[in-house]
Amino acid sequence: GNSVTQMEGPVTLSEEAFLTINCTYTATGYPSLFWYVQYPGEGLQLLLKATKADDKGSNKGFEATYRKETTSFHLEKGSVQVSDSAVYFCALVTQGGSEKLVFGKGTKLTVNP
Amino acid sequence: KAGVTQTPRYLIKTRGQQVTLSCSPISGHRSVSWYQQTPGQGLQFLFEYFSETQRNKGNFPGRFSGRQFSNSRSEMNVSTLELGDSALYLCASSLAGGSGSGETQYFGPGTRLLVL
């Protein structure tokens, strides 16, 4: 079946540090890949997405590239801010299949000033 | 454009009771999905509705049910509540979806249910 594996953390960084959160997937067919972010007490917000191999999604300084050969979609940011503290979820939906989003377990990021 | 709204935001119930949660999608969105979020199981798909029909269903017992109205608003119902049903219930909407289109799903703030 379809699944997403991401580093669970928690991850603690200092402001302006480089961030990588690893995400790998197993899927039948050709999935679309997403990163969602959840701030304390809130729902999920789409951070970025990619729908085909080699696509790069980017938003608010975050980037992730859809790597079909390594079945990965790692999230990166060159310089994190305190306001980036949140839980980050990698997710997929299989094209041609259900609309069901399959999520990883989430990675809690804390950025200290 | 207003986002996805969910009511109520917080609920406290006792075991054996039933509960109904409501979700209003973004205007023009016709697909509504529901997810359960718990610390132990993470985010799990409950079901998806499109044009008042359940299009997809996750692996939850029959105590969990839902429906969608002609204006795309959706409700989910949990009967005979158990302690393990305590969770954040999230609703998400998208334009039309279907066949794993990869459309963005927009999430509401969730309803936090506590079962005592």
- The amino acid that residue A67 corresponds to is R
Taking residue B25's Cβ as centre, other Cβ atoms within 10 Å add up to 27
Q: pLDDT tens digits, residue range A47-75? A: 999 988 999 999 999 999 999 999 999 99
**Whether A66 contacts chain B with CB within 8 A:** no
pLDDT at A97 exceeding the cut of 60: no
Distance, in Å, from the CA atom of B93 to the CA atom of B89, rounded to the nearest integer, reads 14
Confidence of residue A1 (pLDDT cuts 50, 70, 90): confident
Please name which of A82, A81, A44, A78 lies closest in space to residue A62, comparing C-alpha atoms.
Answer: A78
**Whether B5 contacts chain A with CB within 8 A:** no
Residue A99 backbone dihedrals phi, psi, to 5 degrees:
-80, 0
**What is the signed CA dihedral for A19, A55, A6, A101, rounded to 10 degrees?**
130
**Whether A94 contacts chain B with CB within 8 A:** yes
Q: pLDDT tens digits, residue range B64-105? A: 999 999 999 999 999 999 999 999 999 999 987 665 567 889
CA distance B59 to chain A (A): 12
Taking CA–CA distances from B10, the nearest residue in chain A reads A41
